[in-house]
């Protein structure tokens, strides 16, 4: 399924592919396209240098395929869980794993065509170049045996799955997230290594599609989330039959009869966990090697991420970075945003600074986990005197009506000013709920003001109002819509 696109296939070059440009963008994913479009709309000539499949991580191997298969798994689970409603009998859907995988691949191809390939002809001053890997050099970028010249360069080469150093892991044909999403046949069982958002999402997706899943992590699930939120998600996964193993160390991996064996250590004792396949979801690492960064004095951190300032500039004048290759947030929408910040500063269009204070994030498990702003621990570290409010979803009328009270809402506020500092939610509709809290943080809302805001009844987002009221009162003693 090679969807690469050559410059002469899709792009107007305004005369020639060689010579100088106002901007060179290295990487044709979300950040690269955002940067190129921003510059093109400002009338600048752009060389967009791609390598591999156009579109980057999100559309090809990340957000789109994973969320498509998660939704498919939700449909299957919906039939099985229908018995929670009185008078409704559950039903079991037949699952054709290969059919789901193929349908997902078709969707990826369609969105890559629509959102990336078909966009290029609309921007006549963007030249798409794909002639092999690029390398930054004095005065521009070397690619395909020639040097493209520009005084400004944006690095947007993205990231790739990180494979941890575990004895024997090279010999067991471990799958990364994309490997699982494209596996032609459904495995009987899998070991998912890593309890971050990717591991949690894929573990539940596979389980709902008929795979026996063991989720293994060294600390706890979603270690950056509030403990109350993590606890709610962990319990939900266990109820669905997923084995969750936490607080352990990885010792070794080896082939075993019928699959793989993972040896772990916990409490000073070792034990073996077995499954047909091993899926590794232990984070991602920047694609920054072989770009010539060290030679140009462009600094990277210990994981290879390009270090940037609030203007997205690197330590080399004339070079900026955005997206997963940078040391900023690894979300596709923040990649696009960071690229706009970089290009506005690089081209002198509008002075911008990278600001993630009101950045919402979502984990597409069920219940969905979402958050924005500071956690309780982060707020205390930042020097705030904090107060918190925690309510379980059995206090939210929408959850009661849906016969699904899995989840929790936690808000964090400043004691002195009552200003909201952050919040997290675990709820079946948490992803759509969190944006309201993001807006509240963006405009400096207090918990009192949020608690006094009118919310529609029997919605999950009403839970934010109830959580805000819980700072001062017991919402269990309020009637419906009271307060």
| Binding site feature residues | 67, 157-159, 194-201, 283, 324
d(CA 248, CA 267): 8
Look at residue 460 and give its three-state secondary structure: coil
Beginning with the edge strand found earlier in the chain, give each strand of the sheet holding 420-427 in spatial order.
361-363, 368-373, 420-427, 408-414, 386-392
Residues annotated within a binding site for NAD(+): 194-201, 283
Burial of 430 (0-12, 13-18, 19+ CB in 10 A): buried
**H helices then E strands: how many in the chain?**
14, 23
Distance CA 379, CA 418 (A): 13
CB 190 within 8 A of CB 277: yes
* Surface-to-core class of residue 61, CB atoms within 10 Å of its CB (0-12 exposed, 13-18 middle, 19+ buried): buried
3-state secondary structure of 412: strand
d(CA 393, CA 39) in angstroms, rounded, equals 46
List, in order, residues 6 or more apart from 221 with CB less than 8 Å away: 195, 200, 215, 230, 233, 234, 237, 244, 246
- Which residues on neighbouring strands pair with residue 137, listed in sequence order? 140
How far out from the chain centre does Cα 95 lie? 27
Nearest 5°: the CA angle 441, 446, 450 is 85
Output b/e per residue, 314-340; b: 16+ Cβ within 10 A.
bebeebbbbbbbbbbbbbbebbbbbbb
Q: Are 319 and 292 in contact (CB under 8 A)?
A: no
DSSP for 27-52, written as a single string = --SHHHHHHHHHHHHTT--EEEE--S
Q: Which residues are annotated as a binding site for FAD?
A: 67, 157-159, 324
d(CA 284, CA 412): 29
Q: If DSSP codes are grouped into helix, strand and coil, which group holds residue 178? A: helix
Beta partners for residue 46, in sequence order:
23, 126
Nearest to 39 by CA among 25, 49, 26, 27: 25
Backbone angles phi, psi at 315, to 5 degrees: -80, 5
């Amino acid at each position: 399924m090679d969807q690469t696109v050559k410059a002469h296939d899709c792009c107007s070059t305004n005369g020639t592919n060689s010579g100088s440009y106002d901007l060179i963008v290295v990487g044709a994913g979300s950040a690269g396209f955002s940067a190129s479009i921003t510059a093109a709309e400002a009338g600048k000539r752009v060389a967009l240098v791609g390598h591999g499949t156009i579109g980057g991580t999100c559309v090809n191997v990340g957000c789109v395929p994973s969320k498509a298969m998660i939704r498919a798994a939700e449909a299957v689970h919906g039939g099985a869980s229908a018995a929670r409603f009185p008078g409704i009998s559950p039903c079991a859907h037949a699952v054709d794993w290969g059919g789901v995988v193929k349908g997902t691949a078709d969707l990826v191809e369609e969105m890559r065509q629509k959102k990336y390939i078909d966009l290029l002809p609309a921007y006549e001053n963007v030249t798409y170049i794909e002639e092999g890997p690029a390398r930054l050099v004095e005065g521009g970028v070397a690619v395909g045996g020639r040097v493209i010249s520009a005084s400004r360069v944006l690095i947007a080469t993205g990231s790739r799955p990180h494979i941890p150093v575990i004895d024997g892991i090279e010999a067991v044909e471990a799958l990364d997230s994309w490997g699982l999403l494209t596996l032609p046949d459904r495995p009987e069982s899998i070991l998912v290594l890593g309890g971050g958002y990717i591991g949690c999402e894929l573990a539940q997706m596979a389980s709902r599609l008929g795979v026996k899943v063991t989720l293994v992590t060294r600390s706890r699930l979603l270690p950056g989330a509030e403990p109350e939120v993590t606890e709610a998600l962990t319990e939900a996964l266990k109820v669905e039959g997923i084995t969750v193993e936490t607080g352990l160390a990885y010792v070794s991996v080896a082939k075993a009869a019928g699959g793989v064996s993972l040896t772990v250590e916990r409490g000073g004792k070792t034990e073996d966990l077995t499954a047909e396949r091993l899926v590794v979801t232990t984070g991602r690492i920047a694609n920054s090697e072989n770009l010539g960064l060290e030679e140009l004095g462009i600094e990277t951190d210990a994981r290879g991420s390009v270090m940037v300032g609030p203007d997205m500039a690197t330590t080399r004048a004339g070079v900026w970075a955005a997206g997963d290759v940078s040391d900023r947030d690894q979300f596709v929408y923040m990649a696009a945003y960071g690229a706009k910040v970089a290009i506005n500063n690089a081209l002198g269009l509008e002075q911008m600074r990278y600001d993630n204070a009101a950045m919402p994030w979502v984990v597409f498990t069920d219940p969905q986990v979402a958050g924005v702003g500071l956690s309780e621990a982060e707020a205390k570290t930042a020097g705030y005197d904090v107060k918190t409010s925690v309510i379980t979803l059995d206090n939210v009328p929408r959850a009661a009506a849906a016969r699904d009270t899995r989840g929790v809402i936690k808000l964090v506020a400043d004691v002195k000013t009552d200003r909201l500092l952050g919040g997290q939610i675990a709820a079946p509709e948490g992803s759509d709920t969190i944006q309201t809290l993001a807006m509240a943080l963006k405009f400096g809302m207090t918990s009192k003001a949020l608690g006094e805001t009118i919310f529609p009844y029997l919605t999950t987002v009403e839970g934010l109002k109830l959580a805000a009221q819980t700072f001062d009162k017991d919402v269990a003693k309020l009637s419906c819509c009271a307060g």
